[in-house]
């Protein structure tokens, strides 16, 4: 969760024992236990780049409005460049005594450049600072995630294109319902992930608003120029209310809600892969790279990757619940409770990115369809019974009566252990005089899927169209 390159935070490093940024108000320093308890640097150092970017934009603005001298700004820029390099190289020793990423950086900056570092915090508070950092960090993660989600969709489309004519049973209640094409089934998932992409883009709009300038809660008496900070940091607009800006984390909750829905979709797909790859179904083979064996049962090949994707959805749903509960009873404005928003948010991002990437890879490189098994299953479950009913309706029978006729025919076929299509036309005719020699055209699997020929239907030519449309939409969104 934390940057693996970063040096560990040491509770007894050089900074402990020194005065903390707010210690003037206190007669004695906090106990080491409290220092450790309230420190967030162990995880929020992940915000370091965002924190530095936010501080630089703030300092430049303060200089433009005449609050900081250009000499101070130059010193801050120089110091921050050194800090950034040290952090990136993993040379930076984070200090638990300095509480969080913000104090760590400010203190080290001051050690490097002197008074200019102490002036940086003019007109801001850690409250608007942390809200800004989290938004900036999350926006960057969103921008990295969006193309990965599109890559997953593209992998599904590519596989669908190869299987526009491959027939498998469609299920309701996990009972064979009607034949569909494998391409159509895969594009159902593409449609789900396409909505996830939409939700992500929409969430980004509300993430990308600037809290900085709200200071602790009430704003600042300095003549700040928030618009110019927003422009420099790439925010679309300002948070319009200083109290709300430092208090709310609904943008993080919204992201966790988006992520939960996406994980739910991934989990459903994973569940189908687990079923399909089981010998009973045998609809797909997962390549060995995505499976593991059993330590005791030599015959086993377990679909661990999809199982884990399914399992990991649980923690993301948990993070959504955690963030909601974290927020729900907080009085305005900022409360230290909010420090607890980071780990759930970070883990939500990490888990989702991991699951999206591995699923895309599995679809593109680790999944082999077994059309013969799919077809066999589709031929066994009376999947074309609805087609027979529709045939009778076209010959004038009301649908409810047709349903009844076919139900009786299915019972007869079942008692003889054969599929409807195997019953001779004259035998079928015993159930309705409307049944003629042409009946077998509608009882074939190909006839059944080809007849569902409308937008959104499973007919192979519609699936080809849908795949092309999905491909075009992904390209229009920017591609992977």
Q: Which residues contact 151 (CB under 8 A, 6 or more apart)?
A: 360, 480
Cα(400)–Cα(247) distance, integer angstroms: 59
Residue 330 has what DSSP assignment?
Answer: P
Give the integer Cα–Cα distance in Å for 155 and 161.
10
CA distances from residue 310 to 100, 274, 288, 359 in whole angstroms, order as listed: 34, 10, 19, 11
CA of residue 430 relative to chain centroid, distance:
55
At residue 203's C-alpha, the angle toward residues 198 and 208, to 5°, is 130
CA distances from 168 to 165, 369, 416 (A): 10, 10, 23
By CB under 6 A, which span of 217-225, 331-339, 428-436, 460-468 interacts with ligand ARG? 331-339
**Longest distance between any two alpha carbons in the chain, whole Å:** 100
Nearer Cβ to ligand ARG (226/342): 342
Among candidate residues 69, 237, 287, 294, the one labeled active-site is 294
State which residue, 129 or 277, has the beta carbon closest to ligand ARG. 129
Strands 167-172 and 175-181: antiparallel
Q: Which one of residues 338, 384, 432, 458 is an interface residue with ligand ARG (CB under 6 A)?
A: 338
Active site residue 294: yes
255 vs 334 by CB, closer to ligand ARG: 334
**Distance between CA atoms of residues 423 and 194, nearest Å:** 43
Among residue numbers 127 through 186, which ones bind ligand ARG (CB under 6 A)?
Answer: 127, 130
Residue 182 near residue 176, CB atoms below 8 Å: no
Residues 6+ apart with CB under 8 A from 85: none
* Known active-site residue 173: yes
Q: In whole angstroms, what is the distance from residue 466 CA to residue 56 CA?
A: 48
Q: Which two tokens stand for residue 49?
A: 């780049």
CB of 59 to ligand ARG, least distance (A): 19
Residue 399 exposure: Cα atoms within 13 Å on the Cβ side: 3
Q: Scanning residues 101 to 120, which ones bind ligand ARG (CB under 6 A)?
A: 102
Distance in angstroms (rounded) separating the CA atoms of residues 345 and 322: 10
Candidate segments 164-172, 232-240, 335-343, 409-417, binder of ligand ARG by CB under 6 A: 335-343
* One of 119, 126, 139, 204 touching ligand ARG (CB under 6 A): 126
Catalytically annotated residue among 31, 70, 173, 295? 173
User: Is 126 or 163 the residue whose CB approaches ligand ARG more closely?
Assistant: 126
Nearest distance in Å: CB 244, ligand ARG = 16
**C-beta of residue 417 within 8 angstroms of C-beta of residue 207:** no
User: Taking CB under 6 A as the rule, which mask of x and - marks residues 231-270 in contact with ligand ARG?
Assistant: ----------------------------------------
Provide, rounded to whole angstroms, the least separation between the CB of residue 162 and ligand ARG: 49
Candidate residues 40, 208, 313, 333; the one interacting with ligand ARG per rule CB under 6 A: 40
Which residues lie closer than 8 Å to 473 by C-beta, 6 or more apart? 194
Contact region with ligand ARG (CB under 6 A), list: 107-115, 126-134, 287-295, 346-354:
126-134
Q: Contacts with ligand ARG in 54-93 (CB under 6 A)?
A: none
Count of residues binding ligand ARG (CB under 6 A)? 11
Closer to ligand ARG by Cβ: residue 131 or 291:
131
Query: For the chain, what is the radius of gyration of the CA atoms?
Result: 30
CB hemisphere CA count around 173 (13 angstroms): 3
Closest to ligand ARG by CB, 21 or 364: 21
Decide whether 98 or 190 has the Cβ nearer to ligand ARG. Answer: 98
CA distance 88 to 354: 22
Which one, 42 or 306, has the nearer CB to ligand ARG?
Answer: 42
Closest CB 216 distance from ligand ARG, rounded Å: 7
Q: Which of 328, 336, 400, 454 binds ligand ARG (CB under 6 A)?
A: 336
Query: Is omega for the bond preceding 103 within 30 degrees of 0, making it cis?
Result: no
Q: Residue 325 or 425: which CB sits closer to ligand ARG?
A: 325
Reduce the DSSP state of residue 175 to 3 states and report it. Answer: strand
CB of 128 to ligand ARG, least distance (A): 9
Judged by CB under 6 A, the stretch of 124-132, 294-302, 415-423, 434-442 that binds ligand ARG is 124-132
> Please, are residues 380 and 176 in contact by the beta-carbon 8 Å criterion?
yes
Shortest Cβ distance from residue 334 to ligand ARG (Å)?
Answer: 6
98 belongs to the binding site for ligand ARG (CB under 6 A): no
Q: Which of 314, 226, 335, 302 is nearest to 266 (CA)?
A: 314
Quote the least distance from Cβ 82 to ligand ARG, whole Å.
Answer: 23
CB of 125 to ligand ARG, least distance (A): 7
**What backbone phi and psi angles, to 5 degrees, belong to 382?**
55, 40
Q: How far is the CB of 170 from ligand ARG (least distance, A)?
A: 49
Figure out which of the listed residues 9, 44, 226, 359 binds ligand ARG, where binding follows CB under 6 A. Answer: 44
Annotated catalytic sites, by residue?
173, 294
Residues binding ligand ARG (CB under 6 A): 40, 44, 100, 102, 126-127, 130, 334, 336, 338-339
């Amino acid at each position: 969760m934390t940057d693996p390159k970063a040096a560990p935070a040491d509770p007894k490093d050089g900074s402990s024992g020194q005065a903390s940024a707010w210690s003037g108000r206190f007669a004695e320093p906090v106990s080491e236990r409290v220092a450790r308890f309230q420190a967030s640097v162990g995880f929020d150092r992940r915000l370091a780049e965002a924190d530095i970017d936010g501080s630089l934009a703030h300092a430049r603005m303060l200089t433009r409005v005449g609050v900081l001298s250009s000499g101070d700004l130059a010193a801050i820029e120089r110091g921050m460049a050194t800090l950034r390099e040290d952090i990136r190289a993993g040379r930076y020793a984070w200090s638990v005594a300095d509480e969080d990423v913000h104090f760590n950086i400010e203190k080290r900056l001051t050690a490097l450049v002197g008074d200019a570092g102490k002036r940086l915090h003019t007109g801001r508070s850690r409250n608007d600072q942390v809200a800004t950092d989290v938004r900036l960090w999350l926006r960057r993660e969103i921008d990295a995630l969006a193309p990965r989600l599109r890559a997953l969709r593209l992998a599904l489309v590519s596989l669908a294109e190869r299987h526009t004519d491959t027939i498998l049973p469609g299920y309701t209640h996990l009972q064979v319902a009607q034949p569909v094409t494998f391409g159509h089934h895969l594009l159902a998932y593409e449609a789900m992930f396409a909505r996830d992409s939409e939700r992500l883009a929409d969430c980004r709009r509300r993430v990308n608003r600037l809290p900085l300038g709200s200071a602790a809660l009430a704003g600042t008496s300095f003549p700040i120029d928030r618009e110019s900070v927003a422009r420099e940091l790439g925010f679309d607009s300002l948070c319009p209310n200083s109290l709300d800006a430092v208090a709310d984390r609904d943008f993080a909750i919204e992201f966790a809600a988006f992520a939960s829905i996406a994980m739910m979709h991934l989990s459903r797909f994973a569940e189908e892969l687990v079923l399909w790859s089981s010998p009973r179904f045998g609809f797909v083979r997962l390549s060995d790279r995505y499976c593991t064996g059993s330590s005791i049962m030599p015959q086993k090949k377990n679909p661990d990757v999809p199982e884990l994707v399914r399992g990991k959805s649980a923690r993301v749903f948990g993070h959504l619940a955690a963030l909601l509960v974290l927020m729900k009873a907080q009085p305005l404005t900022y409360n230290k409770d909010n420090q607890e928003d980071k780990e759930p948010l970070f883990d939500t991002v990490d888990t989702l990115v991991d699951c999206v990437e591995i699923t895309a890879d599995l679809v593109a490189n680790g999944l082999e369809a077994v059309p013969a098994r799919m077809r066999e299953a589709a031929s066994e479950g009376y999947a074309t019974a609805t087609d027979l009913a529709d045939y009778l309706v076209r010959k004038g029978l009301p649908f409810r009566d047709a349903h009844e006729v076919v139900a009786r025919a299915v019972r007869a076929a079942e008692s003889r252990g054969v599929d409807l299509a195997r019953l001779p036309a004259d035998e079928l005719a015993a159930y309705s005089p409307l049944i003629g020699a042409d009946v077998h055209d509608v009882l074939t699997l190909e006839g059944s899927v080809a007849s569902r020929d409308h937008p959104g239907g499973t007919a192979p030519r519609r699936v080809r169209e849908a795949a092309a449309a999905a491909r075009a939409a992904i390209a229009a969104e920017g591609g992977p």
